[in-house]
Amino acid sequence: QSVLTQPPSVSGTPGQRVTISCSGSSSNIGSKTVNWYQQLPGTAPKLLIYSNNQWPSGVPDRFSGSKSGTSASLAISGLQSEDEADYYCAAWDDSLDGVVFGGGTKLTVL
Amino acid sequence: EVQLVESGGGLVQPGGSLRLSCVASGFTFRRYEMNWVRQAPGKGLEWVSYISTGGSTIKYADSVKGRFTISIDNAKNSMYLQMNSLRAEDTAVYYCARVHEGISSSALDYWGQGTLVTVSS
């Protein structure tokens, strides 16, 4: 059972917009910034969004992040087949005194 | 080019020990906080341990506290994870990851390719 809660799977068709939710608590998302990772099959995770809504260099702005209260969301617009991957949210947790991850969401592009 | 290269994984019996290494290149290692993150086969990401620049602050997940020890050697641009009293549930790919400078310790901007640790008799 992960500290941050994500839907196990989402799907969409090419060109569509999809969102992935991440629910936490006051000790993590409610008081800390949220980061999102993309993990393509067989590869290491890649930082996709940091500090709730900032892009690392090279990440297209089709990916966007937001946070409200104890929840966060990742939106992917103009869905492409290469976006098919697992997506994880993460934040620091003051109660656990460490990084907590969501359980991951598998995105399928139909 | 930033690179993180893990090594030291392998097959070990329950109760045994392993020492993982992570060698960094392409950046000034001593300026960055670092983490170990693991992923069991077919499962999600699990944070394992954090170390600050210089090693003055260290944190562990409850699942490894008292069994794992994180350390760094700035002269060798390296981070280590000494794993003792290994259990079957420690079986995972172990990644080293760099903290994005000046950002939250949960923002990991570069990851190694991972090293597989298998705990089995």
- pLDDT tens-digit profile of B103-120? 888 999 999 999 999 999
Calculate mean pLDDT across residues B65-81. Answer: 98
Cβ-defined contact of A51 to B103 (cutoff 8 Å): yes
Confirm if A24 and A4 have CB atoms less than 8 A apart: yes
| C-alpha to C-alpha distance for A29 and B38, rounded to whole angstroms | 21
- pLDDT tens-digit profile of B1-14? 999 999 999 999 99
- pLDDT tens-digit profile of A29-75? 999 999 999 999 999 999 999 999 999 999 999 999 999 999 999 99
Distance from CA of A44 to the nearest CA of B (A): 6
- Amino acid present at B84: N
Residues of B within 8 A of A103 (CB-CB) are 44
- Amino acid present at B5: V
| C-alpha to C-alpha distance for A21 and A12, rounded to whole angstroms | 15
Chain position carrying tokens 């994984």: B9
